[in-house]
Structure 1
């Protein structure tokens, strides 16, 4: 009885141990295949996937694996890759990220790499999104295929003749060929810094071509007129010769005349710089002044006789100007305020607002005390002799 119980216990323990081992194996397999990982699907569309891209390929971002390729299918000359990306890593990929299918080596297995742009988007890539691969790394079989196609179109005899002629031409000219390569390298070193300017010139060449295209009818018309122009020059060659000889003689005579006064002419031009500058500053006043003179001649011609001799005047006796006093009447050369036409060329000749129109004037800084006209009669004012010989405040009894 005890032996039977012992055998049952051993069998039960073996069964439990085997079950545990199987469970551990299954769990290990599932964990290795990311069965318990939280992944999100992403679809990548590419012109091709590559020969060494298989299910289970790595999906990388910044060089770290963030998922794997679950399936690859082909439709309409395009490869469709289904990716399983870790949910926690998907939030780190910007929505405007691009995809590249590349491998670490030429013969190595390829992987899907997400590339962040220079200006990443603020939003992240959403589950189920479809991304188009921008580039697929070149494979050796593609190179061999293109090379085989090229070699199939070449004639071996012609190729051999070409290589033979090339070898004969280079034999004994190695030094010259090497010197040519050195000079070419120097030219390229000088040309490389100027490539941006050259590219800018090429871009502007299109605009220049457009301008010449618009002017093409005029250019063709000029070319059509060239034969007539050439015939005219040939017919008038004697007159043209005489004109050129006269121009040469005029130039020689002018040089002989002006050469002795060269320094004086230069000095005169230098002295003219200041008045010419001042005249240029006040040049806007010249047209309106001339126009005002023209109008004034028409307006005031009847007042000074016109077609009938005589002069029409309105006389009055205004108060005189204030007498000179020191230092109140000392001048200040500090006036400015041009150019300004002051209402010219319009010349008012009628009353405005019930009073006679007074022409506009400019208040300038030309005296220590502002000018104030006399408003009352001045009695016993100093005369001219007092100013000239004894001062403004001398008494008459001193003469």
Structure 2
């Protein structure tokens, strides 16, 4: 604008007064030098939404606090402001082409300047003449701009008289307290010195707290659902409070009755426990044989079913029974059963009768290999001789040696054969 004005003035002078040409040229040259029109610069354009009231031509352009140029002109193009920046040629190597700009005030009340902010880790090519720079729109830049704008609004609304009174009151309050304030700062410095080594641990704790908070946030829906379900349970308890009260009364009554029963029978319970000790010791002694014994009974059932004719038309014991003369009346001491057990817990096979291949007839009146004479009998019921005979009868069907069968076989199947003559097939 000054240049056009100068040219206009020079034209008028040329047409009117020739001798004023030289002074006019000197004036124009002075203005051009002031505007640095003859200085070699790199011109770039900055586009921003607004330049602000405190941005003026010839304002500084800085990079990391170092002045690298100035603002030559400010124009509005309808979509914002366009600032023409003139950068010093020797400084352009320090300014990358992807740099962004922030409009910052020099002081709270001072004019603004352009701060060029290179992106972190930028290794782009240096900025060149004619490049266009955009305004920094990062979150930090936006927040900083908002803070400055709000600060200006606050400063505009502050009443100078009240501000002066506040500052005077603060001055009087701090007057004579310099030593105390100094000691407070020294204590604060000592505290921060002790706190600094713990900062990494504090940082880790805050990180763990953040993880915990995230986990709590993730679990919040389930927790809320559980609380919702609990409200249903609570409502049910409230609805059934009368029934619960009756239940509590019944339990209280039962507890009282049980207490009376225990008080009345405590001696009997103790005596029962004392008297049961012998039986329990015996059960404890034979307990290891119980599983095997029950398993033997289980294996015995299908074989005994076969002996008794299950699944056939002939039910009963499958064997040949031949009657022999009656042995006479019962004789005490001779026919009395004897139980020769007591050999401790064991798990023998249970004897039983089963049909087999082949026919074997026992000698009359004795057990093979025992030397019994005919007609001499087998002795009393459940005697060793009778048990040996029963084992001889059961051994072939069990595929066992008769001597390995238990001593109580005659107790189980002896009554079947007593008074009869048996032929085993």
Range into which the TM-score falls when normalised by the shorter chain: 0.3 to 0.5
Give the structure with higher Rg (CA): 2
- TM-score for both structures, normalised by structure 2: 0.35
Query: Quick check: which one's helix share is greater?
Result: 2
